[in-house]
Chains A and B, each alone.
Chain A
């Protein structure tokens, strides 16, 4: 039964994810919204209650009722670990549970306004793996299949099949993500679910709740101390005395009760909470001290650096991103925005936006521009780090401004005829003016919303001769981008072009149009 539920949730997680990436409207972020670690961390870090994440309090409540059932029955990463092969059963832990330290460290950092939860959160991690690794692999496999089937399809006159193709999405640092997953798999091989016991901060949070849970493992006096349960427990949650359970580790999987030859183990409501001596709470002081030290180190290394001041504005954020500091507090690094981006312009950061911005999304226009008919990144964001905007609002959520590098532009530097940036621009932000006998491109900043289509298509080899920088970006926590853009006199309208092939306002050579010299 447990295995069925686990598989069902894994399937749901993956289905919702891929339905979103291929454009079907299912709430892709539903399972992420169930995650109380993400809910609490954004709540504390951003000091703001995120309504979609309120769902996660059900999971928290479930932990207060019946311990870590989320870990045992729902968590797709846990399911993955159960499915993967392992050499050893869980090696029982004797030392301080590191994940509890992790959790408190994350909590303390959140108090400081630094949200690190997404880096180690199991759902966010798995979501990143699906985005950066699984999706590109599927695209590649699909393309290989289509290419292999093409001759047959042509022969059979399956016209559409013969011309079907998949766009290959690719992501920066996909190898690193894959290596992390492989590392976790190897760790699991060494000792099953070691992640869940020793690393997972979500597990730690639920473990803390489960120590006062109503339902818990109980062993009656008929126990013969055969020790089978101690060895079989996938979490190493049973101490040397089979009657004593580390409830912070127990995931309520019932492996022990099914196994017990005397049927002495029950999972039932118990009014009394076992003494602290039996709990991970006995590490209380040591854990908190360790957490304080770790978080102090984390805060020091993230904030006491010039990069914190200078690099904050180094990257282009997706349209509708709230102001940078709040963005980083809200973003849980799940990668969903990057997964649903149809042009693949959204890419993860590693150090580009300081270490604090690791795995957060950025726009890479040279790779692809931002589709002006799409607003999906904001729609799927589970925490409101990217606001969900209407297409018109999104159009006015300016992410930056394009700049022409006149040293490299074909027109400016070589007097060639090239108008690709102008052709691409949806808002006539690029106009041509006579300059030293040649019509040369200029950017009108109030008409540019930074979509980057120009930078993507610039025919200059290597780096583009027109580059979008975050200059002039518009980032609002609340309120209308349209209003703000109006105040700033932005002209992101699709009005008839001021862009004349032969401008009237210049004393320029008349028709026919100027030749390529």
Chain B
């Protein structure tokens, strides 16, 4: 990323203002802790600012990350593609959240994925490793060997009783899902819940042995995600998940604590495969809704919108 002097001054000015205004904002954030679970915030605008604003509207990152927390961020970084291909979460979004977590006192922030593709190249080409390089306590890692996973029961699962889950996810205090908005040839779209397939070992099993849509819902039922922040700054609306495909620019960051609600709103961000698909038309979202993991009904979701 190039930073012009003007940009720098602008950002510095804003940050200074924000800092100055911090005492004023605090009471608001305290209120915001009472943000109901079914709230999804949708912030349009420049992705870094939008990411910060979205988190602030949810009550600030401090609501999730405490001093000494071990945080895991799960972006999409499964493809050795540059950010303009929209197959991975945008590096600026990942770095922004990672920095906020660290500044909130996290002991360590692990940015993890299990890429299908050669891991070094994924971390490199996605730009995520580079974006987080200067951040101390932030580690961008690809875990591609079974020894980094361990069995985890899914008591509520209908087709899955157990999965091999990343050990680091199980041992973390906070799990923040940072999916990007993508179409997906198998599941229609790949948003938050589908993205969790990146923290399990045997993905083939999902495809080969069981109904993948129910399996995604089962996985979501057994993994506690503290926060989902969906990078809808771009959306890969065809050719997903690997692309190449048409990239549109919804220019929106979604965030919330209800994984089903965030995905349901995420579906409405773009026209997938040139058509409007209702959240109920995405079978894994419908399955998760049915299991009571959250709500996909628009009348039950309150969307807080903001422009930055």
* Interfacial residues, chain A to chain B (CB-CB below 8 A): 147, 157, 159-160, 163, 165, 167, 342-343, 371, 373-374, 410, 416-420, 422-426, 428, 432, 457, 459-460, 494-497, 499-502, 504, 511-513, 515-516
Name B185's contact: one of A432, A457, A511 (CB within 8 Å): A432
Q: Which chain B residue has the least Cβ–Cβ distance from A502?
A: B273
Contact A424 B116 (CB under 8 A): yes
From known contacts A373-B121, A424-B242, infer whether A160 and B139 are also in contact, taking CB-CB under 8 Å.
Answer: yes
Docked pose: A211 CA to B101 CA in angstroms: 75
Chain B residues proximal to chain A, CB less than 8 Å: 80, 108, 110, 116-118, 121, 125, 139, 141, 143-145, 147-148, 168, 183-186, 188, 204-205, 207-208, 211-213, 238-239, 241-246, 272-275, 277, 280-283
Whether B188 pairs with A501 at a CB distance below 8 angstroms is yes
Q: Are B208 and A418 in contact (CB under 8 A)?
A: yes
Known: A424-B242, A495-B244, A496-B239. A419 touches B118 (CB 8 A): no
Bound: A418/B204 CA distance, A: 10
Q: A163's contact among B143, B186, B207, B243, by CB below 8 Å, is which?
A: B143
Q: Are B185 and A501 in contact (CB under 8 A)?
A: yes
Interface of A is mostly: loop
- Return B21 CB to nearest CB of chain A, in Å: 35
- Further contacts, 4 of them, CB under 8 A, given A501-B184, A516-B212: A163-B139, A417-B211, A423-B241, A497-B239
- Among A374, A432, A500, A513, point to the contact of B238 (Cβ < 8 A): A500
With A342-B118, A459-B204: A513-B188 Cβ-Cβ less than 8 Å = yes
- Residue numbers in A under 8 Å from B245 (CB-CB): 496-497, 499
Is the pair A165, B145 in contact by a Cβ cutoff of 8 Å?
A: yes
Partner of A426, one of B211, B242, B272, B274: B242
- In the A-B complex, list the 9 residue pairs whose CB atoms are closest, starting with the nearest: A497-B239, A459-B208, A512-B281, A494-B244, A459-B204, A419-B186, A501-B273, A419-B185, A165-B145
Determine how close the nearest CB of chain B comes to the CB of A35; give it in whole angstroms: 32
Q: Which of B145, B185, B205 has the most CB of A within 10 A?
A: B185
A-B contact pairs, 15 of them (CB 8 A): A157-B108, A163-B141, A163-B168, A165-B147, A371-B121, A418-B207, A422-B185, A425-B242, A457-B116, A499-B185, A500-B238, A501-B184, A501-B188, A504-B274, A512-B283
Contact B185 A513 (CB under 8 A): no
Closest Cβ–Cβ distance, residue B189 to chain A (whole Å):
9
Q: Chain A nearest CB: distance from B102 CB in Å?
A: 13
Count chain B CB atoms within 10 A of each CB in A157, A428, A457, A515 and give the residue with the most.
A428
Q: Give complex CA distance A159, B281 in Å.
A: 41
Q: Which residues of A contact B273 (CB under 8 A)?
A: 500-502
Chain B minimum-CB-distance residue to A426: B242
Q: How far is the CA of A495 from the CA of B246 in the complex (A)?
A: 9
Among candidates B143, B168, B274, B281, residue contacting A513 with C-beta atoms closer than 8 Å: B281
B108 touches A159 (CB 8 A): yes
Kindly provide the distance from the CB of B273 to the nearest chain A CB, expressed in whole angstroms.
4
A167 to B168, CA, bound (A): 20
Residues of B within 8 A of A165 (CB): 143-145, 147-148
Could you tell me if A373 and B80 are in contact, using CB atoms closer than 8 angstroms? yes
Q: Which residues of B contact A147 (CB under 8 A)?
A: 147
Known: A160-B139, A163-B141, A165-B145. A423 touches B186 (CB 8 A): yes
Bound: A426/B87 CA distance, A: 12
User: How far does the alpha carbon of A265 sit from the alpha carbon of B149 in the complex, in Å?
Assistant: 68
Taking the closest CB of chain A, its distance from the CB of B204, in whole angstroms, is: 4
- Report Cα–Cα, A167/B147, bound state, in Å: 12
**Which of A419, A426, A513 is within 8 Å of B207, CB to CB?**
A419
Q: Contacts A417-B211, A459-B204, A513-B281 given: A496-B238 contact, CB under 8 Å?
A: yes
Chain A residues with Cβ below 8 Å from B281 are 511-513
- Distance A27 CA – B65 CA, assembled complex (angstroms): 49
Q: Please give, as numbers and ranges, the residues of chain A lying within 8 Å of B280 by CB-CB distance.
A: 512
Indicate the member of B148, B207, B277 with the most A CB atoms within 10 Å.
B207
Which residues does chain A contribute within 8 Å of B147, judged by CB atoms?
A: 147, 165
Distance in angstroms between the alpha carbons of A512 and B80 in the assembled complex: 31
Contact among B213, B246, B272 with A501 in the assembled complex (CB-CB below 8 Å): B272
By a CB distance below 8 angstroms, the chain B residues around A459 are 204-205, 207-208
| Contact between chains at A502 and B139 (CB < 8 Å) | no
Are B238 and A499 in touch, CB under 8 angstroms?
yes
- Identify the closest chain A residue to B212 (Cβ): A417
Report whether B118 and A410 are in contact in the complex, using a CB–CB cutoff of 8 Å: no
A456 nearest in chain B by CB position: B116
Provide the residues of chain B in CB contact with A425, threshold 8 Å: 242
Q: Which residues of A contact B246 (CB under 8 A)?
A: 496
Q: How far is the CA of A160 from the CA of B138 in the complex (A)?
A: 10
Chain B's nearest CB lies how many Å from the CB of A307? 36
A495 to B238, CA, bound (A): 11
Question: Could you say which of B144, B211, B239 has the most chain A C-beta atoms within 10 Å of its C-beta?
Answer: B239
Contact status of A371 and B118, CB under 8 A, knowing A457-B204, A511-B275, A511-B277: yes
B124 to chain A, nearest CB (A): 10
**In the complex, A425→B241 CA distance in Å?**
11
Q: How far is the CA of A504 from the CA of B148 in the complex (A)?
A: 43
B186/A428 in contact, CB under 8 A: no
Asked if B208 contacts A460 (CB within 8 A), the reply is yes
A501 touching B207 by the CB < 8 A rule? no
Q: Which of A343, A428, A513 contacts B283 (CB 8 A)?
A: A513
List residues of chain B with CB within 8 A of the CB of A502.
Answer: 273, 275
Q: Tell whether, in the assembled complex, residue B141 and residue A160 are in contact, meaning their CB atoms are under 8 Å apart.
A: yes
Cα A343 to Cα B115 in complex, Å, equals: 14
CA distance A515 to B187 in the complex (A): 10
Whose C-beta in chain A lies nearest to the C-beta of B286?
A512
* CB closest residue in chain B, given A493: B244
**B269, chain A: closest CB distance, angstroms:** 16
Determine the residue in chain B with the shortest Cβ distance to A499.
Answer: B239
When chains A and B are docked, how far (Å) is the Cα of A499 from the Cα of B117? 21
Q: How far is the CB of A469 from chain B (nearest CB, A)?
A: 23
